[in-house]
Amino acid sequence: MEIRDVTADDLDAVLDSRKRAFGPLPASSVEPWRAMVTPSLAEGRYLGVFDGGRLIGTSRINSYDQWWHGRPLSMGGVASVTVAPEERGRGVGRFLMRGTIERCAELGHVASALYPATTPLYRSLGWEHAGARSRVTLPAEALRTLGARDGGVKLRRMGPDDAPEVRSVLERVYAATRASGPLGWEERITRQWLSDEDDFAYLADDGFVVYRWHDGDIDVENLVAGSEATARALWSLVGTASSMATTVTAAVEPDDPVLWLLRERSYDSVKQTRWMFRLIDLAAAVGLRGYPAAISAETVVEVDDPQCPANSGTWRLSISAGAGTATAVTAAPGGEVPRLTIGGMSALFAGVPTSTLRRAGLLAGGTPGADELLGTAFAARPYMLDYF
């Protein structure tokens, strides 16, 4: 077996592999799929496992910014992972994902995330469960009546040329809300997304919404709002479909303001799709992440990462004034220090509580004081609005 970049000549085989893994694409979706993936070929973002010239596995690495406590870092979103059915069970997936980790590093991504079809393979290579994409179903009529209290929010239709403004909105809102987990996309991808004629998109100064009709109801693909007035305006706009649609299903934050804006709320109908996270360059990721500005702390941890040896060793973590550093040290300074696999360190980075990590066997050694310090510094409630 060998791993090499997928080329345009391989796309028919890639499509066949994709159909066998995920089911057939509608005929109308084949050309848009080709248009979407073709730019990734020249960028070295589509990998194939070949055996004697025959394609037997694939993975694609999407380029994202991912915000962590309000600061973006470069994240490789792993998607389209396939292994030919007749080749499963002989290590193709593991071989492929080891190559995917190496390629993420070569592309400059300091972290990686994916939506797993199965946990054991990815966990064995360092990804760990970190957050979720939460989809809530709400009554359309309840949204219609929200309205904007001050009535001063101006909304306009949004199209492909608004891609830079979408980026600007995301940067401002995610920084202000200290968001952890949500994604920003390349302008090319944003333009393509906003070109879909089946989507309806509206823009405000500090927010936007993209939604579509689905089986007679409304499906909100993305809604971001930086203020109460904008949240009310965007959600009530979606709710104006209530004369035809009974429900609105939307991807939301764990503590999305819409759940506090609704007049009535007794239970939430929420479906979660879990995603996994992995640090590719530990030191760079720690340096790019944001942290609570009031925290000033320093501690030492030991990390083991067989796939990325540069992440292994003893690290001094220093947090101050909202910024952090990870500095390699030759030995731990006296006393037992917290020990983590790279999966445990990735989960800690993503805000999984130290009490959870310890009871799950992902954190060992150290002291209660170190646990509390680490848990406070890396506290987060990570989420994604997008599925890839």
Q: Is residue 388 assigned to a domain?
A: no
pLDDT in tens, 165-174: 999 999 999 9
pLDDT band at 330 (very low <50, low <70, confident <90, very high): confident
108 and 167 share a domain?
A: no
Sign of the CA dihedral 53, 54, 55, 56?
negative
Q: What is the pLDDT of residue 129?
A: 98
Q: What is the pLDDT of residue 50?
A: 97
Q: Is residue 47 assigned to a domain?
A: yes
Residue 149 has pLDDT above 80, yes or no: no
143 and 106 share a domain?
A: no
Non-local (6+) Cβ contacts of 232 within 8 A are 146, 147, 148, 149, 153, 261
pLDDT in tens, 123-133: 999 999 999 99
Q: How far apart are CA 350 and CA 45, in angstroms?
A: 25
Of 13 and 335, the one with more pLDDT: 13
Q: What is the pLDDT of residue 148?
A: 61
The answer to whether 38 touches 8, Cβ cutoff 8 Å, is: yes
Non-local (6+) Cβ contacts of 225 within 8 A are 173, 204, 206, 207, 231, 234, 257
264 and 286 share a domain?
A: no
140 and 260 share a domain?
A: yes
Domain boundary among 257, 273, 289: 273
Residue 336 has pLDDT above 90, yes or no: no
49 and 14 share a domain?
A: yes
178 and 63 share a domain?
A: no
Tokens of 236: 């009530």
pLDDT band at 332 (very low <50, low <70, confident <90, very high): low
Residue 194 has pLDDT above 90, yes or no: yes
Tell me which residue range forms the domain holding 207.
Answer: 134-273
Q: Is residue 386 assigned to a domain?
A: no
Q: Is residue 69 assigned to a domain?
A: yes
Tokens of 375: 């848990």
236 and 119 share a domain?
A: no
145 and 117 share a domain?
A: no
The answer to whether 232 touches 261, Cβ cutoff 8 Å, is: yes
pLDDT in tens, 91-133: 999 999 999 999 999 999 999 999 999 999 999 999 999 999 9
| Lowest mean per-residue pLDDT among 26-30, 55-59, 67-71, 324-328 | 26-30
C-alpha atoms less than 13 angstroms from C-alpha of 341 in its C-beta half-sphere: 16
13 and 88 share a domain?
A: yes
Q: What are phi and psi of 271, to 5 degrees?
A: -115, 130
Q: Is residue 311 assigned to a domain?
A: yes
229 and 286 share a domain?
A: no
Domain boundary among 273, 308, 325: 273
Q: Is residue 382 assigned to a domain?
A: no
157 and 248 share a domain?
A: yes
The answer to whether 380 touches 374, Cβ cutoff 8 Å, is: no
Q: What is the pLDDT of residue 150?
A: 63
Q: What is the pLDDT of residue 333?
A: 58
Looking at residues 326-342, what average pLDDT do you find? 85
286 and 347 share a domain?
A: yes
Domain count, the chain: 3
26: domain CATH number is 3.40.630.30
304: domain CATH number is 3.30.1050.10
Q: Is residue 383 assigned to a domain?
A: no
